[in-house]
Structure 1
Amino acid sequence: MKIMVIDDSSTIRRSAEIFLGQAGYQVVLADDGFDALAKMNDHRPALIFCDILMPRLDGYQTCALIKKSARFHDTPVVMLSSKDGLFDRARGAMVGSDAYLTKPFTKDSLLKTVRQYTAPALSK
């Protein structure tokens, strides 16, 4: 199963890649929203983790574009942010995000989120 991680921080991308790779997932990395949108058709991720604060195209805009896409509107998007405010969560929900994960995340919290949003896909 492929999981996309969109984050402008190489540290966060690398951490997610290690945690998810150890759990047996294929990981597709993107350093901003434009990079992610360019890679989505080729890789068709089952789940997307998307940072909020990124240059060029931020996480809210990226999530909104993914959710407006006919092909990817059902793909779960989990927002990543170092801010854990109600406003950020609400704004993420408004653009269609499925969940919110606060950075820095632990391996357990990351994998728990993956299982939560991919378990139905496994039973199909």
Structure 2
Amino acid sequence: MVIDDSKTIRRTAETLLKKEGCDVLTAVDGFEALAKISDQKPSIIFVDIMMPRLDGYQTCALIKNNPQFRATPVIMLSSKDGLFDKARGRIVGAEQYLTKPFTRDELLGAIHRHVTTV
């Protein structure tokens, strides 16, 4: 799943992942994502930090606080690459932090690192 308020980022990630044979869900913000996550149960979640209504940190915390999804890997996406931002991602339970613009290899690397079957 790719959660980002940028249509360009969602479409780019979706295109890259679909070319590799992944089924991809997208959401424009945390609220839309939470509804889809409970229905679709994605294997991995990529979430932008800066989003309206519910930011990536809040979204990640809500996912990780749900026992059903605690083990689902969450990868933070951000144009910020500061130490504080990365630490805050770890605090809310994110497994990894990718800086935008990300590459195809970074996305696939995160999937191979955190998902047992792709």
Q: TM-score, normalised by structure 1?
A: 0.93
Distance 2:54 2:108 in 1: 26
1:43 to 40, 45, 48: 40
- For residues 75 and 35 of structure 2, the distance between their equivalents in structure 1, rounded to whole angstroms, comes to 19
Aligned counterpart, 2:117: 122
- Count of paired positions: 118
Residue 113 of structure 1: how far off its partner (Å): 1.2
5+ residue gaps, structure 1, are none
Alpha-carbon distance, 1:122 to partner = 2.3
What residue is the counterpart of 1:53 in the other structure? Answer: 50
State the 1:41 CA deviation. Answer: 1.5
Q: String of CA shifts for 1:48-74, please: whole Å, max 9, x gaps.
A: 000000000000000000000011011
**Separation in 1, partners of 2:32, 2:98:** 21
Identical aligned residues as a percent: 61
| TM-score calculated relative to the size of structure 2 | 0.97
Q: Which runs of 4 or more aligned residues in structure 1 lie more than 4 Å from their structure 2 counterparts after TM superposition?
A: none
Alignment of 1:7-86 (within 5 A): 7-86=4-83
CA RMSD of aligned residues (A): 1.1
Whole-Å separation in 1 of the counterparts to 2:86 and 2:38: 27
CA distance in 2, matches of 1:17, 1:40: 16
Matched residues in 2 for 1:70 and 1:109: separation?
28
